[in-house]
Chain A
Amino acid sequence: MIVLFGVFLLSLMVITALAIVRTQHLFVAVILTGIFSLLMAANFFLLDAADVALTEAAIGAGISTVLFLSALALTGEHESVRSSNRILALSVVAVTTLIVIYATFDKPRFGDPLAPVHQHVSPWYLETTPEAIDIPNVVTAVLASFRGYDTLGEVFVVFTAGIGVLFLFGARPPRNSGSPGTRAAEQGLGLRHYLIPRVVGRLLIPFILLFGFYVQFHGDYGPGGGFQAGAIIAAAVILYALLEGEAQALRVIPHKLLIGLMAGGALLYGGVGVASLLLGGNFLDYSVLAADPVAGQHRGILLIEAGVGITVTGVLLSVFHAFAGRRRR
């Protein structure tokens, strides 16, 4: 039954991907990429990867769609027709596809317990987590503690991406000058005239924020963690910006605070590593953070997940404001 569902979802994904390639209308393409991500999330969930599914749904289907749309607002809605060599591109794609299909013949069967990936470190993670870290969600244990270096790298990748976007758009905060008339026009941005979306949106924002914090702090026990929570909290603030206008959202969380969040989260993560060095352990070895090693692990994971969440929120909001604020200059 699960295989049937998987085949169904994967075929839908192929159809969506073809539609994305075929369409000339970029708005349609963006919405289709959102649908693609949602299908991907359902697929991950089918494979019991709830954490990845949550990330894909929050970031792929949610935030990136909004970011793409705000980028589209700066450019055109239609793809420019290029008269490049299509035969060459098509043959490259065809050859790559054939190679990838050929490579899948060597893969183990779906769900095979003897697959190499289940023989290497996975059993060790599953055995060690209950005694060494003692949290139910092994994914969080692997992500935050066993593979803390990798996650540190990911946080710095996110941080670097945020810096890159801010540099591309000119890192200075949006200008506050301008005649009173344009100020009033700025304040009128957003969905202020649309009663129903505004009322419902304002009703939902606190609950979205609450859910974001639940995902953040419940990550040790269920699917979730800093990446997902950061995306959900950023989504709540972006919803506020869409309802009340981007300038109003920038008044609630000013530009400087966003920059601080971006750097602060990555700094917190690195700081936990340095603190564990100073307390006599290895870099990112949380066992020394408390008298009891297991309690130390809990404290370390809580702190670095908070660091991840803070950085992701800051970067996503900064990127959103970089796109949305560009229009007003």
Chain B
Amino acid sequence: MILTIAKKQLVDNIVGTRHAVSLRFPIALVLCSSLMVFSTYMLIEDYAHQVSDLTDFLRPDGYREAAAGHWDTARLAEGPTPVTRHIPALKVLCIGLGDDMSLIATIRPFVGAIYKQKSFITNTALDLFPAIDFVLIVNIVVSLLAMTFTYDAISGEKQDGTLRLLLANAVPRHQVLLGKWLGSYICFLLSYIPSLIGVALLILLNPMIALTGSEWWPVILIFALSIVYTTVFFSLGLLVSSRTRDPKTSLLTLLAIWTFLALIIPNFSPYLAAEVHPARTPYEIEAELNSIGFEETQEAWERVRDSMGEALEDRLREIMVSRNLKPAPAGSWNLSYGTWSDGVRMLISDTSDEEARALQLASSRSARTELQNVTSRNSEVKHDYMKRLRKQMFISKAISSLSPVTSFTYLATDLAHTGLQGEQHFRRTVDIFKNQFVAYVGEKLASQKFVDRPDVSNMPSFRYEPRAAVTVANDDLIHLLLLALFNVVFFMGAYLSFLRYDVR
């Protein structure tokens, strides 16, 4: 019986209903596939343009060449040593963070890792509209289409009076519901899957993207998840349809719910989270770090000088004067280097004056201790702030998980390596490399003369490996579970409501 009902529903949806030729199947098919194919095609073009612009810039071995190209070892210590990641090919499906995604970080051992920002001059007109990609189309368009397949499944038949006739034939209610679900679902999939095939073909046929075997997994997963996600709205349509008396009310109610889920919750949630758990603005933190850097560094340096007595400064000044170098004014001592900048370092590196060398070493040692104090205060402030920010993000995600839209967005962008996870992973990889590189530079500075060209044969290597789809999905398990939960709840809701539906 289920199959008969399913078949009838399928035919109704595709060919036509009681009153008119059904519009939803052809409209869904045409709208969905044309939007998706067009947007994916455009995004592939965009990606190709970006890749060809940046090939020279994002060479994976660029950092090694930059390091080998330095004139002397001292410069190796100052950087810049750029490390990069590839532009994720699946940007053509999910733009994710878009231009905010870091592709390149410059390592400067004394400063840290600096992430390249986009240029100041940008086309701001682009910022006024969200970019349209596969994720946005699924989130907004396909979810809406999915609901149009079920909004009148029950209430429509009731209005026509056919529901009563159907149940009068001693067909069990659960069979009616399952049959309706199945029939409409197949019809919905028939209208949706051609778009997926179209998108997959576009990706497959473009030589720029060239996904290899395991790289197809994220694509397949994103497609599968999009079906799971749209099923949520499909079942929601059935639920509302079995709780209302006429199709117009069902559609209006559904649209109201959909507006909240798709257009309001995701956009309000970060702001609400900021209200619940406020954090200082990043600029306030930066200002505080600045004052630590300025005032405390100065005080620390004064302590170093006090501890060394005036001997160091006087002696260095003497050496410089004897070599016709202009001594820097007292204020330009630099705690990071433990001495005056450039001039003195060069001088000490090739002076044979043991006394000066000893003084410099002693000053560096006490300066390093002071510098560590300042640095640890800095990182404490930053750490507290980041902790608070992460909590805020957690709350924001918790609020937004009321809507399946955000769950799907997080999952898809993470699988495509264009989302938050990809960004964090890149930053973690850079951090690990930075620590190795700093240790390496320290070693080089100790063993090699500053003026020699650096030997980079045993330099640590940087390699950014995108995380495997399984790992990504595992980290986003909560979102997977939520999507499943929404499906189960809505379907069960529809089932139970229909069992008690007044068919008269």
- Do chains A and B stick together as partners? no
Chain B interface residues (CB < 8 Å from chain A): none
